[in-house]
């Protein structure tokens, strides 16, 4: 069936079971009365992000046209995940299938259930590598960068992360110390990043009891992340794993 409607970009991931077969079956499920798949990337093998993620992942991306509303589209993706055994009990945990709604047309959506564009896609190579294959010129509706431009940012070496709010910087994981990544301390303030070498992002570290400035821990529309002092080391390692791989 031909659909006009809205073009959506979807991220696929998984690392348990026959993932590539699961992708094929999931795409068949998404080619339904209300949706039509229009492009599909090849599969990529990627590094797991986070201590509970398990083994290496397989990732891909797809574009589809739909006449479903954003929340109905989310409902469909989550139903397909559940049907293939997805359990949502561990953040960044292992899974047979992950279906992320990355873009819903050019819309910007912030609801308790759904944030679109996906707030983490800008630093995740495992999202951007597949997306470049099918939508390199697609532009982020908030920051104006194309998918290709976002992906190119990940090639910066060293990948510089500016840290505000810590007197002593965390230790970079050893696999990223050979010129791959660099942490810098910056003074507080919105215009703090004045160094000649541009940063990949800024991490603002806040103390216990202090409220983050942004609406969420991973608010990244200007490539700035707020994070609690207790979580800064884990966050930076996750950023580097997602952006560089291993």
Instruction: Determine which one of 21, 29, 67, 98 is catalytic.
Output: 98
Cα distances (Å, whole numbers) of residue 130 to 53, 114, 148: 20, 22, 11
CA 171/CA 161 separation, integer angstroms: 12
List, as one string, the DSSP characters of 56-92: -EEEEEEEEEE-S-HHHHHHHHHHHHHHTT----STT
Instruction: Determine which one of 21, 42, 56, 95 is catalytic.
Output: 95
**Is 98 marked active-site?**
yes
**Is 100 marked active-site?**
yes
**Is 42 marked active-site?**
no
Mapping DSSP to helix (H, G, I), strand (E, B) and coil, where does residue 125 land?
helix
Beta bridge partners of residue 12, listed in sequence order: 60, 99
CA 59/CA 41 separation, integer angstroms: 9
**Residue found under tokens 């608010």:** 219
Tell which phi-psi region holds residue 17, choosing left (phi > 0), alpha (psi between -120 and 50) or beta.
left
Instruction: Determine which one of 100, 129, 162, 226 is catalytic.
Output: 100
- Which residues are CB-contacts of 118 (< 8 A; sequence separation ≥ 6)? 11, 100, 101, 102, 103, 127
Rg (C-alpha) for the chain, rounded Å, is: 18
Instruction: Determine which one of 86, 106, 153, 184 is catalytic.
Output: 86
**Is 82 marked active-site?**
no
Query: Looking at the annotation, which residues are catalytic?
Result: 86, 95, 98, 100
């Amino acid at each position: 069936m031909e659909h006009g409607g809205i073009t959506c970009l979807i991220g696929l991931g998984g690392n348990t079971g026959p993932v590539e077969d699961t992708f094929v079956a999931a795409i068949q499920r998404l080619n339904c009365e209300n949706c039509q798949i229009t492009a599909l990337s090849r599969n990529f093998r990627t590094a797991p992000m986070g201590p509970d993620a398990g083994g290496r992942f397989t990732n891909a991306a797809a574009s589809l046209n739909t006449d479903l509303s954003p929340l109905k589209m989310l409902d469909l993706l989550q139903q397909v995940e559940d049907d293939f055994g997805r359990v949502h009990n561990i953040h960044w945990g292992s899974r047979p299938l992950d279906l992320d709604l990355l873009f819903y047309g050019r819309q910007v959506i912030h609801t308790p259930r759904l944030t679109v564009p996906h707030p983490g896609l800008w630093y995740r190579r495992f999202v951007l590598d597949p997306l470049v294959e099918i939508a390199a010129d697609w532009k982020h509706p908030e920051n104006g960068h194309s998918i290709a431009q976002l992906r190119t940012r990940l090639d910066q070496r060293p990948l510089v992360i500016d840290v505000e709010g810590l007197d002593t910087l965390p230790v970079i994981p050893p696999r990223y110390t050979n010129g791959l990544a660099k942490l810098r301390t910056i003074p507080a303030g919105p215009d703090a990043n004045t160094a000649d070498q541009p940063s990949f992002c800024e991490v603002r570290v806040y103390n216990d009891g202090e409220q983050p400035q942004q609406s969420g821990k991973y608010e990244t529309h200007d490539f700035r992340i707020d994070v609690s002092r207790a979580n800064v080391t884990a966050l930076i390692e996750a950023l580097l794993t997602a952006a560089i791989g291993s």
